[in-house]
Structure 1
Amino acid sequence: MFWNQFSSEKLEELEGIILSTLRTPYTTFHVPVELKSGSEEIWTISLNSESKKTPLVLIHGFAAGIGFWCRNLDELSKDRPVYAIDLLGFGRSSRPTFSYDYNEVEKEMVNSIEVWRKKLNLEKFHLLGHSMGGFIGTAYTLCYPERVCHLLLADPWGFSDHLNEKPSFWSSIIFSLVHVRPLEFVRAIGPLGPWLIQRGRSDIAAKFEDIIEDNSVFPNYVYHCNAQNPTGERAAYSMIWGYGWSKNPMLLRIDKLKKDIPLSLIFGSNTWMDISIGEKIKDLRPDCSVDIKIIDDTGHHLYSEKPDVFNDIVVTACHLHDKTSDVNENEIGENYS
């Protein structure tokens, strides 16, 4: 179709270029899942799947896909299996029609991950989510605590209680733009969509310029991830209220999280997310393991801005909470330079 420039072949090609930067052998495949919406498919990458250590599962943020983890997958999979997925409605996963009810959307996302887990026969795993993926990962852990041995949240969205919190200046500005829904505009302008993403989000390419020479690859990957039928995007908007608040914030539920599940929170020092939720979670879970790390000179996409530091935090935290680990549970410094 001329007007909408989306091409599944182009998305596959761009993802292939991004994943070609990996040194570790990997496999990508669709996992078929039977849901209320019918037969769906969740796009998956796996690395080091033969390892007997506890796996790590990665969930991306809004408008992203598995390619966003390209600076992390090698290090994270050095001594354990790693799986990353495109959430339903995003990337190369199928595009079901979600409910318009925010509670139902959350349940549908959580259920899809559980069906995916059963298909891959993963008994227990570390679960890492970025931004919206942190919200979905926490919702999954609340529903299936027996499957998650350790929850890691990278700059998570959806925790702040909108009744008791005022947004920061920058979060107010950024989330005011949510109501404009810029990706709808990108799709509406047809042939100019890829150009606009490349010009408007050149910062994305800058985060990967040392490993991907062609600075058009990542912006075009973002375009082709989001130029399709935006069912996941619309589902995400159904969960958002006001200045980007969650309609069912996690701070009101985090005390229900099983007490023996350790929680690791990783923030960028310059993020527009609410870093204070870390200490609030500690207060709500006084007898539980809650570890907070802040990576200096990084923003919301901290995993790609300082990947070496981010990877080290995640690897160390996973070792600490492996069921078979002999590492003693000691505090690691609060800030990383």
Structure 2
Amino acid sequence: MKALKYRGAWDVTLDEVPDLHVTGDDDVVVEIAYCGICGTDLGIASGAYPVAVPGTTLGHEASGIVAEIGDAVTGLAVGDRVVINPTPYCGRCRMCRTQRINHCVNKHGTESGVSYDGAYAGRFRTTSGFIHPVPDHVSLRAAALTEPLSCVVAGARKLQPPGLTAHTFVIGAGPLGLLYTWVLSLRGLTPVVVEHSPARLAFARDRLPVGSAVYGSLAEARAKHFGDPDAPLDVVVDTTSHLLEELFPQMAHGGTYMSIGLKEKVAAIDTMLLADRSLSVIGSIDSLHGSFVEALHLITSGRVPAERLVSHVVPLEDYRTGFAALGCDLDARVFGPADQASCKVLVAPGGRHE
């Protein structure tokens, strides 16, 4: 089978590798239908987020069809449509026992697409506890967004807005930005999205929950949506992680700034304001207990229209096209803002399904 291998910064190759089969009683091998391109993948490939082990197959946002199961697996059968939780945790370490499975100290060697072979490949092998059936009425394209939505659900749990009237801003109209907008809307807030890319702004405009809107700048959002050029910032979810230093002095008293982008940026803030204004600065990454199941429920129930956020589906052989749609040009070795109407890009190792 083919697999997209990470060798180093700007060095990813599509290689022929042996097919995967079950090796343990609890193993499940999935034929991959779709695997979403994540910002983490872009950071790994470009060297901006150097966490992957060289030689690892990339990819972790995947859905597919069960191809093989181990002798002890129950509740699953060959041919089942499934989605994969790509971040196993041991359940025994201090982090896991204190509800911080996203920081399991034993996950090295198990984290799909980082330290364990991921899902930009024909097949993926895991254990039954990290496989979830997908109902027949839900497409495998939509199901592939379960993992990023799980990360959003985990992050949204951390946000404690001062009330449902809180002025809420989401910076960035990529997949996580739009998913945060939907999840926060389901919590009763009315997020406003800020996106500088005209192409992405246009894509996002008719894919927002009722009441939300997208603008080309924070100034425009404040002036047009709230009718006040100095509208307070109660909640800010920054998917770029570049704006803390700029926005921190503008945060409303009791406000919260959340950073979720995996991009290096050193920022200086005034700690007197931190205390005097009762501000919160928090970060979030990966899934927490129950967030994956909750995310799948939001997709299967139709509360989050995941498939509407898919802008491209490309064959595995065209992975360079998929990465380029998100601003990562592997040939030119350039990683910048997307210049086309893109959101979630799916790679289809086995061709299009459904």
User: Is the strand fraction higher in 1 or 2?
Assistant: 2
User: Is the helix fraction higher in 1 or 2?
Assistant: 1
Q: If the length of structure 1 is used for normalisation, what is the TM-score?
A: 0.28
